[in-house]
Structure 1
Amino acid sequence: MMWKIISLMALFVFVSACTVTGNVVKEYNDETEVYFCPFDDCGSILAEKLKSANDINCAFYDMDLPEIAEIMKNKKARLVFDHESSIITSGSAVDPKYSQMHNKFCILDNETVLTGSMNPTKRDTSINYNNFLILHSKQLAKTYNDEFGELFNKTFSGGRETLQNSHYINNNIVNVYFCPEDWCANKILYVLNEAKSSIYFITFSFTHDQIGDLLVRKKKEGLNVAGLMEKSQNNPYAEFQKLNESGIPVKWEATGANLHHKVFIIDEKVVVTGSMNPSLNGDTKNDENLLIIYDEELSKKYVSEFERIWKIIDEK
C-alpha cells in the first residue's frame, strides 16, 4: 500500500510538472555533448568552453584548478561555491553550511548549460569517474539562470519550485529539477517505475531506501537490473546489501578513483544524471540539480560508460 501511495504521488507531481505542452518551445541547436572523465580530458574541455564565453554563471561544490580559476577571474564570472577556498575569486556567493550547495553547473552566454557530476578539481577531472554534459538551449539556460539567481542571492536549500521543467531540444525531451524544492526523488521513482526492460545505475552515495526498494521490485518483475557503487561510501545505510541479496548484480568500485557518477539508465533510452546522489540528503537538504533526458543516442553512450567501468572493476 505504501508503494502505491508513493507511486501515485510521484505520478501526479511528475505529470503535472513535466508534460510537454504547446507552451514548450522546440529548439534545434547543436547536439548535446557528453564527456566521461578521466577518459576524456574534461578539464581542458571545460577550459575551452569557458574561454569562448563572454557571460559566465557557475555553481560548484568545489574548485581547485588554477587554470579554471584564472579564466573565471579574467571573464569576471559570477560564482557560487559550497565553502570558502583560497581559489575563490571575487564576486562569489558561499553557502553558509546549513547543508551542502552540491551543484555542478555553468551557464554560458545565456544559451549553453554545462553540468553533470564533475567539479572543476584535479581529482574529478583526471582521476575520478564523472560525466560532463554540454547542452545547447536558450530555454534550458534560462531555467538554470533562474536557479543560479536564487543561489547567488543566497537562497540555499529550497527556493521556489522550477517554473519550466520540460524542454524540447533536437526532438528530445530534457526535464530539469532542482532539489529540494522540486521533489527530485519522486521524479527518479517515476521514471524508474516506467522501465520495461533494463535499469543500470552508477552511483557514488546510494542510501535512498525507496529507490533501492523499487530496483528490487523491478528485478523481481524480470527486468535486467545491475549497478556500480563507490566502496568508500559503504556504510550501514548503503543500499548495496539489499540489492545484492535480491540477486541484482552490483559491484563496488575500489580501485583508488572515486566512482562519482550519479546516473541511472532506463531501457537504454533515458538517462538520469546531475549532481544529486540517490540519498535523503541529496533529495531533501542539499542544493542539487537533476536532469532526466529522453535521448536514445545519448543513453547508449552512458551504457558504454557503465560497461567500461564494469570491465575495469572485473580486471582489477
Structure 2
Amino acid sequence: MNTRDSWGRFWLVVAAFAAGGCGTSDDGVVDVPHPADAADADADAADADADVPVEAEAEAAGDADADAPMEADGDDGGEAEADVPPACPCPALPAVCAAPAAGEPTFTPPNEAMAGQFLDLLACADASVRLAIYETDWECVVDAFAAKLAADTDLVVQFVIDDDMCPRGADGTLTCPLARLETSDRVTIVLDNRSGLMHHKFAIFDDARVWVASANLTQRSFCTDNNNAIVVDQAEIVAAYGNVFRRMFVDGTFGPVPPEEPVAGGSYRVYFSPETPASAPARWFNDLVAAVGAATTSAEAMINAFTRTEVSEALIAAHRRGVAVRVIVQNTYADEAPAQALLAAGVPLHAGEMHSKTLVLDGRTVVTGSANWSANAWSNNENSLWIEDPAVAAAYRAEFERVFAATSAPAP
C-alpha cells in the first residue's frame, strides 16, 4: 500500500469518528505516532509583554492585548477562556460545494451563518487551504478538516498559529486539537515562537478567496462572542493576504517589517502589522484615527480590547461636532479610560460579549479584521481590512443595531 492510500484509510477512520459530532477532545482521536521532526519547536513562549497584564485572546473575555485587563479567551494578548461556552450546533462539512457569496458578512451568535460560510469554503477547496489563525481549539472545526482531507486526497492544508495558544509538549506534539491533523503528510503547522502575538484570523482557499474574520476557530468565538467574517475574492486583496501568509509560513518572519503602503483593490484596502518601530502606532491605526476625524454623519464601533485614548478622543470630537457616535465594547474594557471618557462625554456606549473589531463610518466605510484598538496590536501580527461599500456597511450597521438593542450601558 502506498503512502497516499495509507493516509486515505487513516482519514476515513477519523472522518467516521467525526460523523458523531463535535464530541470532546478525546473523540475521533487515532493513536498514531507524531512525526519526529516536530520536536524542535519551542514549547512555551510568553504571550504578552512582561511589563503589562497578560491578555490572552480569551476572546470575548478579552482579546488579550498585553496592555489591557486579562481577557478570558486568549485573543489579543491574553484572553483566557474562564467559563465554558454553552453548547451550540456543530455543523457537518457539506457533502457538496456551494460557494458562499463574496462581500456578504456573517455574524455570531448564533453560529450557523458564520460556521456555514467557513465550512462551505472548506467544502469547495480543491487544492489548498492556508490559514493564519490565533487560536484553533474547537473539535468541530478539526473534525471538518479531517473529513475534508479524507474526501480530497490531493488537498494541502497549511496553518500558521500562535505558539502560546498551542505550544508543543516535551515530545514535540501539539497540545491542542490540531495535533490530530498534523499526522497527515498533507498538513503543515508553523508556530510563531515569539513573544508578540500571531493574532491574525484569516484563511485563503485555493489562492482565490480569503475569509477575513474577528473570530478564532474556537467554540467561544462561534457560540458566545459577537464576531464577524467576510469573504473577499478581489484578486489584489487575496494576493496581499497570501504574501503575508508566505512571509510567516515560508520565511518565518513574524516581527516588524519596514512600513508598507496598504494594498487596494476594488472597494477594499488592507493594512498589515507589525511595522518598524513596533513601539509606534501602526499605519492602520493612524489612518483609523484620521478617518474618525473626517466622519460627518455617523460612527458605530464594535470593539473588543479598547485601551487607546487616541481613538476615544477622536470619537468624542466627532460627537461634539454633531456626528452620531455609538460604541459597543467588550465587558472587561468598560472600565478602561477610553470607555469611561466616552461615557463622560455623553456618547452612547454599551458593553457585552464583544469580540469584533469593527468601525462603520458615515454609512459607507467599514473597518474590520483582527486588530484591536490597543498598543499591543501594533506589535502583533494583525490585519485591518477597509471596505468602501454602502451595502456592506448597511449589513454591519444592522448587526450593530441588533447587538446594541440586546446590551446595555455598563453599571456606574
Give the TM-score band, short-chain normalised: 0.7 to 0.9
- The Cα shift of 1:198 comes to 0.8
Larger RCO (CA within 8 A; separation ≥ 6): 1
- Partner AA of 2:196 in structure 1: S
TM-score under structure 1 normalisation?
Answer: 0.82
Taking structure 2 as the reference length, what is the TM-score of the superposition? 0.64
% identical equivalent positions:
25
Deviation, 1:98, is 1.0
Q: Which residue of 2 aligns with 1:51?
A: 123
Equivalent in the alignment of 1:7: none
- Picking from 176, 187, 190, the partner of 1:86 is 176
The unaligned stretches of length 5 or more in structure 2 are 1-100, 150-154, 167-174, 183-187, 276-281
Deviation at 1:279, TM superposition (A): 0.8
Structure 2 distance, partners of 1:160, 1:37, is 35
Are 1:222 and 2:322 counterparts? yes
Decide whether the 8 Å contact of 1:107 with 1:145 is kept in 2.
yes
Distance 2:237 2:287 in 1: 18
The C-alpha deviation readout for 1:104-150, integer Å capped at 9, x for no partner, is 00111111010120111111112111001111122211110000011
The equivalent residue for 1:68 is 141
What is the deviation of 1:69? 2.2
- Structure 1 residues 290, 121: CA separation in 2 closer, same or farther (over 3 Å shift)? same
Q: 8 Å contact 1:111–1:139 — kept in the other structure? A: no
Aligned partners of 2:236, 2:197: CA distance in 1, in Å?
Answer: 27
Deviation at 1:39, TM superposition (A): 3.0
Cα distance, 1:183–1:164 mapped onto 2, change above 3 Å? closer
Residue 31 (structure 1) shift: 4.2
Superposed displacement of residue 37, structure 1? 1.0
Q: Which residue of 1 aligns with 2:246?
A: 149
Q: Quick one: which amino acid aligns to residue 62 of structure 1?
A: E
1:46 maps to amino acid = F
User: Is residue 256 of structure 2 the alignment partner of residue 158 of structure 1?
Assistant: yes
Counterpart pick for 1:296 among 390, 400, 412: 390
Q: SS of the residue aligned with 1:219?
A: helix
Q: Shift in Å at residue 86 of structure 1?
A: 2.1
Pairing of 1:195-210 with structure 2 (within 5 A): 195-210=295-310
Number of the residue aligned with 1:32: 103
Distance 2:408 2:343 in 1: 16
Aligned AA for 1:263? T
1:286 to 365, 380, 390: 380
Aligned length: 278
Summarize deviations over 1:141-181 as a string: whole Å, max 9, x none. 1110000011213211323544661111xxxx211001222
Q: Secondary structure at the match of 1:265?
A: strand
Is the CA contact (8 Å cut-off) linking 1:156 and 1:287 kept in structure 2?
A: yes
For the residues of structure 2 that align with 1:33 and 1:252, how far apart are their CA atoms? 26
Q: Report the CA distance shift for 1:87/1:289 in structure 2 as closer, same or farther (over 3 A).
A: same
| Aligned counterpart, 1:213 | 313
- Equivalent residue letter for 2:159: L
Gaps of 5+ in 1: 1-29
Q: Shift in Å at residue 36 of structure 1? A: 0.6
Q: Which residue of 2 aligns with 1:192?
A: 292
The answer to whether the 8 A contact 2:351-2:408 is kept is no
2:203 to 106, 118, 122: 106
* Maintained 8 Å contact 2:293/2:317: no
Per mean C-alpha deviation after superposition, the further-off stretch among 216-225 and 30-39 is: 30-39
1:12 match: none
How far off its partner does 1:61 sit? Answer: 0.6
Q: CA deviation at 1:97?
A: 3.5
Inter-partner Cα distance in structure 2 for 1:240 and 1:46: 33
1:179 counterpart residue number: 273
